[in-house]
Amino acid sequence: MKKTILLAATSLIIWSCSTPKKQEEKTVEAPVESGLTVSSSDFGQMPDGSAVSLFTMKNDNGVIVKVTNYGGIITSLIAPDKDGNMGDIVLGYDSLSGYLKSSPYFGALIGRYGNRIADAKFSLDGEEYQLQANDGKNHLHGGVKGFDKVLWDASSFKNETSAGVVFSRVSPDGEEGYPGNLTAEVTYALNNDNELTFEYKATTDKKTVVNLTNHAYFNLTGDPSQTILDHELELPANTFLSIDNTLIPTAQTAVEGTPFDFTSATLIGARIGEENEQLAFGKGYDHCWVYTDSSDSLKFGGSLYDPSSGRLMNIYTMEPAIQFYSGNFLDGKLTGKGGINYQFRTGLCLETQHYPDSPNQPEFPSTVLEPGQEYYTKSVYEFTTK
């Protein structure tokens, strides 16, 4: 009994001399230890014997993101539907061997240059750089052995607000034909708002071009035996880039009155079969939408909704554009997770990026990186329901 009184007397004294006016009792909340976790496990070996890891990020809502340091590939993304049932909403393989054997960039970190570069070449200051033509006469997604097919250094982290993985590597001068030693660092982070954030950084010691993105294939039903044609898509873009029959941009075109108008949420399958030259060239949707807000602030970049499950994915990005690809090359030949053969249009990609072929199109926003500059961009994919 005596101790308390003494204490009370003492505190009263301290309290009274330091602060003249009556101060509110502030209870300092001890930081609630969030349930965010990141762990790593073995994911097999590369043909040269180097070990590959699989990182598993989990948040308090049961959202799980699995990513490997082989190609920065997201192998699984598990999120709740409107009734709280968890489902895997990305396409991919159960093991490393699937990715090593053949993958149309499932869940991959793409670079050095996302999408196509015409005729597999570009020039900088009068010097021409020849790249690998790995998509007909064009160059696609960084070449034959792009960032999606290399082993990255990886370290996981957890802080009060997120858990994640930092991937880093130096792409040597001349890799796949690109100039400059490019030091790249890409962070994937999950927080308790079900947001998966991608942060991309790079520096170079020689003038070069950079356009990094992620190539996840989404199917919000959680059942990739179903197509994505009943998903609703919204893209805040009044224009898109028309393409030629090799998918190289030819002009910036208004979406109004065309099957490319997603300024309000629209069923993907509603117009995909229409008689339309651009749909024919893309074999469906495989085009770059140019955001109406061309600033590099983190802005609303679109949303994808699946009415059957109630899953909604919102995108925010600093990038000026987004490639929407409706999975037109999936042909049932690839057997993915759970032994499912991925049929035509059972997954779609929403790749935030700069425009395709920008190195050859001076009127497009520049993708040039100079020594002394830092390439920095961020995109956030939020998983919710309605």
Cα four-point dihedral sign 206, 369, 356, 335: positive
67-126 positions binding ligand GLA, by CB under 6 A: 104-105, 115
Among 325, 342, 381, 383, binds ligand GLA (CB under 6 A): 325
**329 interacts with ligand GLA by CB under 6 A:** yes
Nearer to ligand GLA, 53 or 213 (CB): 213
User: How far, in Å, CA of 322 to CA of 354, rounded?
Assistant: 8
In the complex with ligand GLA, the residue whose CB is nearer, 316 or 325, is 325
In angstroms, the CA 328 to CA 86 distance is 27
| Structure token pair of residue 330 | 């999936």
Angstrom CA distances, 182 to 174, 185, 208, 331, stand at 10, 10, 9, 35
Question: Are 250 and 360 spatial neighbours (Cβ–Cβ below 8 Å)?
Answer: no
Q: Is 272 in the site for ligand GLA (CB under 6 A)?
A: no
Q: Name the catalytic one among 139, 215, 287, 354.
A: 215
The tally of CA atoms less than 13 A away on the side-chain side of residue 386 is: 10
Which is closer to ligand GLA, CB of 42 or CB of 101? 101
Q: Residue count at the site for ligand GLA (CB under 6 A)?
A: 10
What tokens were used for 273?
Answer: 């079969």
**How many other C-beta atoms lie within 10 A of the C-beta of residue 23?**
9
Task: Round to whole Å and give the CA distance between 211 and 202.
Answer: 10
Range 178-207, binding ligand GLA (CB under 6 A)? none
Q: Which of 175, 195, 234, 351 is catalytic?
A: 351
End-to-end CA distance of the chain: 56
Q: Where are the alpha helices (DSSP H) in 104-228?
A: none
Q: How far is the CB of 250 from ligand GLA (least distance, A)?
A: 15
| Contact string (CB under 6 A) for ligand GLA, positions 242-261, x = contact | -----x--------------
Q: Which H or E run includes 351?
A: strand 349-353
Judged by CB under 6 A, the residue of 243, 349, 369, 380 near ligand GLA is: 349
For ligand GLA, the closer CB: 209 or 288:
288
Tokens 């180097």, located at residue:
50
Q: Residue 176, interface with ligand GLA (CB under 6 A)?
A: no
Residue type, 337: K
Q: Is 215 a catalytic residue?
A: yes
Identify residues 138-157 at the interface with ligand GLA (CB under 6 A). 140
Report in angstroms how near the CB of residue 235 gets to ligand GLA at its nearest: 15
Q: Which stretch binds ligand GLA (CB under 6 A): 35-43, 74-82, 203-211, 322-330?
A: 322-330
Select the residue whose beta carbon is closest to ligand GLA and give its number. Answer: 325
Nearest distance, CB of residue 263 and ligand GLA, angstroms: 21
Quick one: 140 or 182, whose CB is closer to ligand GLA? Answer: 140
Distance CA 356, CA 192 (A): 34
The CA distances from residue 12 to 16, 17, 26, 282, in Å, are 6, 9, 15, 76
Contact residue for ligand GLA among 323, 346, 353, 367 (CB under 6 A): 323
Does the active-site annotation cover 351? yes
Q: Which residues form the interface with ligand GLA (CB under 6 A)?
A: 104-105, 115, 140, 247, 286, 323, 325, 329, 349
Any idea which residues carry the catalytic annotation?
A: 215, 351
